[in-house]
Structure 1
Amino acid sequence: MIKNIIKKSLTTVSLLLLSFTVESATYDLLEEQKTDQLLLPNTQLGNSFFTLDPTPQQAINDQKRDYLEALELIKNQKFQEAEKKINTLLKNNPKEAEFYNLQGLLESTNKQPEHALKSYQKAIDLDPKNLKAHLTIAKISLDTGNLKRAKEYAYKTLSINNKTPYAFYILADIALKQNQPLAAEKALLTAKQRNQGNIKIEVALANNLGKFYITQKQPQKLLPLAKDIITRYPKESSALSLLANAQLINHQKKEAEKTLKKLINQDKQNIPDRLLLIKLLVGQPEKEKNILKLLDEISSIAPDNLQVLSQKTVYLIKLKHYREAKEVAAKVNRLAPKSGFLHLVEGEIYLSKKNPDLALSAFQQAYQIKPTEKILNIITDIMVSKGKQSEAVNFLNKELKKNNKNLAAHFKLATLYQQQNNLIEAEKHYKSILAVMPDNALVLNNLAWAYHQQNNPKALKLAEQAYKLAPNSAAIADTYGVVLTKVGNLQQGIDILEKASKLPPMAYDIKYHLAEAYATNGDKKQAIDILNQIVNADQIFSEKNAAIALLKKLEEN
């Protein structure tokens, strides 16, 4: 089902100013995972080392120069030029394993995994203990769904070096894909144990364990890990950051505040942890002076840093220090005159003051200077919140006349039309996005729901496709569960809806759909129990009237 597509009210600051964020290095544990792999870091495997057989020094220098130039070309996606340079290296050095690694990197970056596998295998044939080649074959195999081969080469990597953390990340991800969370945890804990004494790797592994524990709803398990590391490295900044993060995700705000203050005292130039501490203190009126002091310190450290100034305006608006916020915004405008930043800040201030009409005018001025997807979305949301749906539709259609490839405008239009039950127009715009982004789970989900509303059998295929891409999305699981029950796959639909009802954010619409499924399956008691819970709650949800009607019907029969 479509969830929170258009905001019905704009009562808080939209925070459009945060087009970039400065956060603590470990605070990303709190962010939703968006990669296909849960734990595998986004690490480039192609430039970690360079080795050659004994060769005259000048030849070594020339080869190293060409190697590094090829790497730079790959990084800049100049694949044809890189290929020519690599072919020359291989022609002159046909037995150099490292050049086959380089060729494999080019091929994997250029989305040719099967060619890359052959190149890395050639590197292994020349050098059976080539760590990089084994590891990258494992990674490519994981990405392409060959879990057996991924596991085989991860273990081969560990037979060469039993401490390699990247191999353990691969094993952990394989275990998660096979629904074996205990095996994933064991892999990461084993890696941490084997790397004890290497603070950098220990902290990285603990952070990944933290991500794992969050997905398993076991954040409390990160605390003892963090405390163990801080006991051995009491003044190490990365260890303190890990501890602060563990405290935050376990809602130990006072302890996290103390830890962040230690970090700041250790490093007088530390901006990210000052910003994180401010984020923690916002909402506590008695801490306003502390926040302002921290903001002043940040300004002194980086007086002309646009990211820092942007963050500062956000917090000044939250504190309702509007004049100071506009002063900082004016400085940003002087540093970046084509950013439209001052108008953005004015828009944020008017939203904070609950004056959407003036906010809309300010955002429209900002959009004229620098049109961005974020500003387009909030302009549309304000119009809709004011009941000006037709004005929003006209605005978006004008943007599409200027640029028919504006996917943000297509998406906004599609969701507006879908809310107006104009499903034919909604379908047209969703299809425009899918033509460019065929694996966009949210668009697939919304189009599946539109088809479901029309009793179109295409709904099942799209809902299943979206679910496979994002199985941990509550809204997407909800759509798939509802469509499954509609086509008669009751038990599978109930299983999916039960899962969806436990995923954040908890939504009463999903619980209603689960109750509906139970009722259809003849489980009247479970259906009534859920309906009583959601009907008697204060929360308003879109299908509350339908839930009331279903409860009345079940109790009467």
Structure 2
Amino acid sequence: MRLFRRQAISVALAFSTALGLTPVFAVMLELQPDNPANAPSAAPYASIAVNNELQDVVTLLKQGERKEAKLQLARFLARHPQDPRATEVAGLIFMEEKNWKMAIVSFRRVLSVNPAQTSARSKLGVSLLMDGQRQEGAAELQRVVSINKADGMARRYLGWLAETQGDTKAALGHYTEAIGDPRFGAGMMSEFHVLTAKLFNQTQQYDKTIKLLAPLIGKADSSRTGRGGELVLASAYLEQGDKAAAARLIRSLEKTLPSVNPDLRLAQAALFKLEKDYPKARERLQAIIKENPAYSRLASLQLSEVYVLEGNRKQAIGVLESLVSKTEKKDLSPLLARLTAFQFDRGSPADAIKTLKEHSVQNPSVKYLLAEAQARNHQYALALRTVNELLAESPQFAGAHYLAAMLYIHENKPSEAEAGFLQAVKLIPAFVDAWVELGDLYISANALPKAESTLQKALEANPDNPTLLFKLASILDQSGKTAQANSAYRRIVEKMPNHAPALQKLALNLSTDSSTLSEAQKLAERAYALAQNEPSIQDTYGWVLVQSGDLKKGTPLLEAAVKAAQHHREHLSSHDESDDHSHESNNLAEGNAYYHLGVAYMKGGKYAEGAAYLNRALHSGVDSGTRTQIASLLK
């Protein structure tokens, strides 16, 4: 039974946060909504209109001379006890000292004199947030942005609040509005550019990160912002597989950051991993774990992935087990998710169940993982009981609705499955796997128009998401809407030039028309350069070459694709197909591979071999148009 496709298990574990795919490299950012210590500093956004005498106080504050600033302010207040500007400066000092209650008193005093003073109101909103009065603080900040849409402080904290609540769309809205704040300078990279780009990366919109940040490299409002921008932009390039662009940024960071900087080491490790230099990647990550405790969790997760890429899953599991033993219960869920995922990959769901039962199954996320492990261990009824118990306790758990829906598909209860997927995407609109499975559910019911409209809705919530775009294009292909499908494939390739499946599908579609055969060959060559061992890409490239008259080069590729298709079928026959529904789409691919090879043999004069493969294609599953062509060839 297929439980997950592409998304990280952490997406399904989220109550209200869409975390997206696990990145190759991520700047450390762990938002904890109940911990004010993780909130951003207010200092960069704190502006106060003051006279010359108070300006000295503000300058001292910015220089970190808080003690001297307080003395000068006290002298000023002794002469002007009712001056609201001095009271606002006092409130700012209280904010720096994290004396939120006194800060609140100060800003309310300012606002009692001048209710329209938005700079004081934004500081009041932040102080209320940090004092645990989240609803009141958010309300004050919303009042500020209703008057001044680009207020930097209000937008920064409203964005932070939205992030902690999992509302990426709202956070992006706040940060992009703040980019328009004239105090940050036109044509300059501000922290808001970096924050916006981080969220683009988090939602797989790497092309938007590149478009936003690349023109601003070297034009940051501070060295700190510049380094942050380079790190986030490097992450986007790494995700897109652009080693050269990422390497240029990392070389630049090596000149400005100490060699032991953990963010730099993470970037270097990610580049080494992309270059398949796994020993060097391990060296960087192990150094972080040893020397930077605050980063050890993130580095350990990345290290486990490196071990997996090296084929050493045992070592990967060992790293995670060690990390689990040192982690507090409240932080265990993501680690257990990764650990059990590796155990699943090793075909050991029973081991995963044992691991999970060693920890509190009262934790909703752990209970979710237990239900998944039970399902993977073919204990479907028990898994469904576990997940329904979880939903009774935590009805807002989107991942549990998703898992229940997958189990209902196994039980052949499509109505219940549909309800589960719909609830999952309602709770987390960025839950890509749930959208894809819902589309597949409609496809299996031969409801292609409904599948198409579902993917259109998914893309409204997740614009330009490549997984959703690719699924929509596949549905359009199945519906005979080839031109629209090609348009979707082109959108993917424009944003992700190295998206091999989109290149392959577009090439295959264009190969049917002699006027676009040349473009088809170029696209197929690009796909083959990216994934030359992928059977569907071998098949498409070989077929395009045969169509172009290059039998010598094309036929061996088609033979390799057929061999791989046969191996896949034999593999499925020796495994429980209920664990993997991918064979449902591979039958058609196998039929096409036989058809293409049959045509190639006939063009090369091998009529008997060609006819044999054409007949095999008819029995393996091909569409009606291909059947007609085969019938014509076999006459």
| TM-score normalised by L of structure 1 | 0.60
Deviation at 1:285, TM superposition (A): 3.8
393, 396, 421: which one aligns with 2:417: 396
Shift of the 476–367 alpha-carbon distance from structure 1 to 2, 3 Å rule, reads farther
**Aligned ranges for residues 225-374 of structure 1 at < 5 Å?**
229=254, 233=258, 235-267=260-292, 270-277=296-303, 283-285=312-314, 292-296=321-325, 298-299=326-327, 303-304=328-329, 306-312=330-336, 314-315=338-339, 318=342, 320=351, 322-330=353-361, 333=362, 339=364, 341-351=365-375, 353=377, 355-356=379-380, 358-371=382-395, 372-374=397-399
CA contact (8 A) 1:317 1:325 kept: no
Q: What does residue range 449-468 of structure 1 map to in structure 2 within 5 Å?
A: 449-456=474-481, 458-465=484-491, 467-468=493-494
2:185 partner amino acid: K
Q: Which residue of 2 aligns with 1:473?
A: 499
**Residues 466 and 476 in structure 1, CA contact (< 8 A), matched pair in contact too:** yes
SS in 1 for 2:186: helix
Question: What whole-Å deviation, never above 9, does each CA across 1:512-549 have from its counterpart, x for those lacking one?
Answer: 33434444444444432421232233455441232122
Partners of 2:23 and 2:494 in 1: CA distance:
24
Larger Rg: 2
Separation in structure 1 between the aligned mates of residue 321 and residue 172 of structure 2, nearest angstrom: 49
The answer to whether the 8 A contact 1:470-1:476 is kept is: no
Describe the shift of the 1:288–1:523 C-alpha distance in structure 2 as closer, same or farther (beyond 3 A). Answer: closer
Following superposition, the deviation at residue 17 of structure 1 comes to 8.5
Displacement, 1:483? 3.9
Query: Do structure 1's residue 534 and structure 2's residue 587 form an aligned pair?
Result: no
One of 581, 584, 598 as aligned partner of 1:552: 598
Report the counterpart of residue 186 of structure 2 in structure 1.
133
Check whether the contact 1:101–1:132 (CA below 8 A) recurs between aligned residues: no
Moved more, 45-54 or 238-247: 45-54
TM-aligned CA distance change 1:321 to 1:399, over 3 Å:
closer
Correspondence for 2:625: none
Question: What is the CA–CA distance in structure 2 between the aligned matches of 1:253 and 1:465, rounded to whole Å?
Answer: 33
**Residue 508 of structure 1: aligned partner:** 535
- Tell me the secondary structure at the aligned position of residue 133 of structure 1: coil
- The alpha-carbon deviation at position 238 of structure 1 amounts to 3.9
> Matches of 1:109 and 1:289 in 2, distance apart?
37
8 Å contact 1:460–1:483 — kept in the other structure? yes
User: Which residue pairs with 2:143 in the alignment?
Assistant: 81
The answer to whether the 8 Å contact 2:421/2:437 transfers is no
Shift of 1:550: 1.6
Q: What letter is aligned with 2:480?
A: N
CA distance in 2, matches of 1:79, 1:228: 36
Query: Is the contact made by 2:546 and 2:554 (CA closer than 8 Å) also made in structure 1?
Result: yes
Tell me the secondary structure at the aligned position of residue 535 of structure 1. helix
Which amino acid is 1:508 matched to?
A: P
Q: CA deviation at 1:243?
A: 4.3
RMSD of the alignment, in Å? 5.7
Name 2:400's counterpart in structure 1: 375
Cα distance, 1:65 vs structure 2:
1.6
CA distance in 1 between partners of 2:425 and 2:238 (Å): 43
Q: 2:542, 2:558 within 8 Å by CA — same for their partners in 1?
A: yes
2:516 to 482, 486, 489: 489
CA change 1:438–1:218 in 2 (3 A) is closer
What is the distance in 2 between the residues matched to 1:425 and 1:528? Answer: 39
**Corresponding position: 1:416 with 2:413:** no
Per the alignment, do residues 233 and 508 of structure 1 end up closer, same or farther by CA in structure 2, a change over 3 Å counting?
same
In the TM superposition, residue 354 of structure 1 has moved relative to its aligned partner by 5.2
Change (3 A) 1:375 1:475: farther
Q: Does the aligned pair in 1 maintain the 2:210–2:236 contact within 8 Å?
A: no
Relative to structure 1, the CA distance from residue 200 to residue 172 in structure 2 (aligned partners, 3 Å threshold; closer, same or farther) is: closer
Matches within 5 A, 1:177-196: none
Which residue of the partner structure matches residue 165 of structure 1? none
Task: For residue 13 of structure 2, give the secondary structure of its aligned residue in structure 1.
Answer: coil
Q: TM-score, normalised by structure 2?
A: 0.54
- Give the aligned residue type for 1:512: D
Provide closer, same or farther for how the CA distance between residues 173 and 393 of structure 1 changes in structure 2, counting only shifts above 3 A: same
Aligned letter for 1:65?
Answer: A
Whole-angstrom distance in 2 between the partners of 1:13 and 1:466? 18
**Structure 1 residues 404 and 288, CA, compared in 2 at 3 Å: closer, same or farther?**
closer
CA distance in structure 1 between the aligned counterparts of 2:436 and 2:333, rounded to whole angstroms: 31
Greater relative CO (CA pairs within 8 A, separation 6+)? 1
Q: Structure 1 CA distance, aligned partners of 2:142 and 2:340?
A: 50
Matched residue type, 2:415: N
Unaligned runs of 5+ in 2: 16-21, 28-39, 55-82, 89-109, 111-116, 130-134, 159-169, 197-206, 344-350, 570-585, 604-635
Q: 1:352 to 1:520 in 2, by over 3 A?
A: same
Partner deviation per Cα, 1:362-388 (whole Å, 9 max, x = no partner)? 33443444354433444444565x5x5
Kindly state the Cα deviation for residue 294 of structure 1 after the two structures are TM-superposed: 3.9
Query: Alpha carbons of 1:380 and 1:467: their partners in 2 closer, same or farther (altered >3 Å)?
Result: farther
Answering whether residue 120 of structure 2 is matched by residue 65 of structure 1, we say yes
Identity of aligned residues (%): 12
Alpha-carbon distance in 1 for matches of 2:210, 2:151: 28
Q: Contact conserved, 2:122 with 2:154, CA < 8 A, in 1?
A: no
Instruction: Name the CA distance, whole Å, in 1 between partners of 2:366 and 2:511.
Output: 51
Do the aligned residues in 2 keep the contact of 1:12 with 1:352 (CA within 8 Å)?
A: no
Deviations 1:93-138 (A, max 9, x none): xxxxxx89899999x9997999999x76xx5xxxxxx65233279x
Find 1:19's aligned residue among 13, 29, 32: 13
CA contact (8 A) 1:14 1:351 kept: no
Cα deviation, 1:183-222, whole Å, max 9, x if unaligned, reads: x8xx96x789xx9xx7996586367446536645537984
Question: Given the superposition, is the C-alpha separation of residues 316 and 444 from structure 1 closer, same or farther in structure 2, using an over 3 Å criterion?
Answer: closer
State whether residues 340 and 352 of structure 2, in contact with CA within 8 Å, keep that contact through their aligned partners in structure 1. yes
Which aligned pairs between 1:149-168 and structure 2 lie closer than 5 A?
none
Check the 8 A contact 1:223/1:243 in 2, yes or no: no
2:305 and 2:177 mapped to 1: Cα distance?
48
Q: More deviation in 287-296 or 256-265? A: 287-296
Equivalent-residue separation in structure 2 for 1:533 and 1:430 (angstroms): 34
Partner of residue 426 from structure 1, selected from 424, 447, 451? 451
Cα gap change, 1:356 to 1:470, in 2 (>3 Å): farther
**What is the number of equivalent residue pairs in this alignment?**
459
Amino acid at match of 1:393: P
Cα contact 2:562–2:590 (8 A) shared by 1: yes
| SS in structure 1 at match of 2:593 | helix
Give the 3 Å change call, closer, same or farther, for CA 274–417 of structure 1 in structure 2: closer
AA in 2 matched with 1:307: D
Where does the alignment leave 5 or more consecutive residues of structure 1 unmatched?
1-6, 22-26, 33-42, 88-98, 124-129, 144-168, 177-183
